Structure 1
Amino acid sequence: MKDYYVTDKAHIYWDEAIETVVIRWHAFARGDEFREPLDKMIELAVMKNAKKALFDSSHILVVAEDTKWLADEWLPRLLNAGIHYTATVNPMRSAVARADAGSVDPAPLLHHEFAGMCPAVEWLSGITA
């Protein structure tokens, strides 16, 4: 594991064992505090030519304006960076998140949600990218 970006809100690193760019949220963030780490994640994905991404969203809620930014601006950039497989750890997924998930064309992306890190890492480990 090599740290790339660390703040009190988020930790981004490259996991060599599963060849995955990882973001682990530690606290609520919104606006620039939310967007900057996600932009750094894309930077790292490009540098590593990553095909897989892991989001540990166990400790974060996303406000409506940031959810819109994710879908409209950030997700297309993530796909353009070359990510094809994503896993999200989100043990308390809300109905709002389920509704928003349908607004993005998932065709170029294989995504699964998990209740914990271990099953997410296991799933990503089984993907040769």
Structure 2
Amino acid sequence: MTVGSRRGQATESLRQLTEAVRTESSDGARLVANIADNPICRVTVDTGIPCVVLAWGSYATSAQLRFVHECALDLLRRHALHKILGDDSALAVIPVDDQGWLREDWFPRALEAGLKAAASKCPNGFFGKQSVANVMSGAPVGITVRSFEQLDEAKAWLQTVKI
């Protein structure tokens, strides 16, 4: 498969995902309408680190979780960033299928897009912590991941990572 056909396939996949998220709930519609300001996950760029920031606000459906990660990947590419900071405090759980998708599909594409390091604040709940640990355990060689009890610790560590 050529790079052009992979991009075309990815664009069509994102279009379908966007439509699914937009139509599944009012919160999903708000997520699609404004990735930086919505109740599910605020996705922004912090130019001070620099990195993509994911701040989870509530439970995300599978489509919403995948949409958020596709948006993060787009921001990594568009801004030539190499780091992600996650505030996973409110992340209740990541379903097993989505954990597999993150490890086997998203992580390799993120590495290809230039991701080198990811730091997160641990989820508050037990199942969220287990989910994040399972995902992080599948990070490919080339991406360093760490989880912290405090967001400030995660941010400070990420600022020390040399790319």
Q: TM-score, normalised by structure 2?
A: 0.69
Matched length: 125
CA contact (8 A) 1:4 1:44 kept: no
Q: Which residue of 2 aligns with 1:76?
A: 108
Q: Which has the higher helix share?
A: 2
Q: Deviations over 1:65-109 (max 9, x none)?
A: 111111111111111110101102114422x5545544x253211
Deviation at 1:5, TM superposition (A): 3.5
Letter in 2 for 1:125: Q
Q: Deviations over 1:26-47 (max 9, x none)?
A: 0001211111011000000001
Structural mapping, 1:79-98, within 5 Å:
79-92=111-124, 93-94=129-130, 97-98=132-133
Structural mapping, 1:1-129, within 5 Å:
5-60=36-91, 61-92=93-124, 93-94=129-130, 97-99=132-134, 101-102=136-137, 104=138, 106-129=140-163
Q: TM-score, normalised by structure 1?
A: 0.86
1:25–1:98 Cα change, 3 Å:
closer
CA contact (8 A) 1:5 1:40 kept: no
Q: Which has the higher strand share?
A: 1
Deviation at 1:4, TM superposition (A): 5.6
The percentage of aligned residue pairs carrying the same residue is 22
CA RMSD of aligned residues (A): 1.9
5+ long unaligned stretches in structure 2: 1-33
